[in-house]
A and B are shown apart, each in its own frame.
Chain A
Amino acid sequence: AQKVTQAQTEISVVEKEDVTLDCVYETRDTTYYLFWYKQPPSGELVFLIRRNSFDEQNEISGRYSWNFQKSTSSFNFTITASQVVDSAVYFCALSDGNQGGKLIFGQGTELSVKP
């Protein structure tokens, strides 16, 4: 069975602080895909990154970085030097390679960045 857990329901930081959003997943498949999405206050869902199970390289994109560790089934997201515009709900998602394209999401982490 697939499962995604984002244990942090809400996080509040002050601008310029670094913040890490945790994502732990469960799957029996060896082939799977992980995603992060952002949902700003306006409500739309914005894709941030995709990672497949065969690629454990960490990725950096500007102030954003992602740490994928198969040994701990985690795919954590770090924002460096946070800004007010980073305030949003962030979702982690999992798609197995053998589930007919099923795509499930975690509960989301609401990040509030205060000036």
Chain B
Amino acid sequence: DAGITQSPRHKVTETGTPVTLRCHQTENHRYMYWYRQDPGHGLRLIHYSYGVKDTDKGEVSDGYSVSRSKTEDFLLTLESATSSQTSVYFCAIRDRMNTEAFFGQGTRLTVV
């Protein structure tokens, strides 16, 4: 199994509070991704990274920011959580563009 860990696995937070999700890899892969999964929408890309300090927006980046200061860590921050950000969040890593991505176990975030 690819060495990828998401933390926390579950979180309940209140509207308006900041939240940070962490994705940690031990594979030294170049690319890292954050997705959210909601019923009827599949996996939607939030942000991705193609190297340390190199990030770009995905399809649904509003309300989210990311940082990658080390190869192994990719942080997703909800600056002020809203109920519409209740979702399951998946992190993925990929070595090269022509290889498959490996996914973390997911983080279930509930904003109340």
Contact surface of A with B, Cβ cutoff 8 Å = 6, 9, 33, 35, 43-45, 47, 50, 52, 91, 93, 95, 97, 100-108
Contacts and interface: CB of A to CB of B under 8 A. Distances in A.
Contacts of B101: 35, 47, 93, 103
B5 to A, nearest CB: 13
Interface stretch (B15-23, B27-35, B62-70, B73-81): B27-35
Contact of B42 (A52, A100, A102, A106): A106
B95 to A, nearest CB: 10
10 contacts: A33-B97, A43-B105, A44-B105, A45-B103, A100-B48, A101-B30, A103-B45, A103-B48, A103-B94, A107-B40
Contact of A102 (B45, B103, B106): B45
A107 B48 contact: no
B88 to A, nearest CB: 8
B92 interface: yes
B57 to A, nearest CB: 10
Contacts of A43: 88, 105-106
A91 B56 CA distance: 23
A106 B103 CA distance: 16
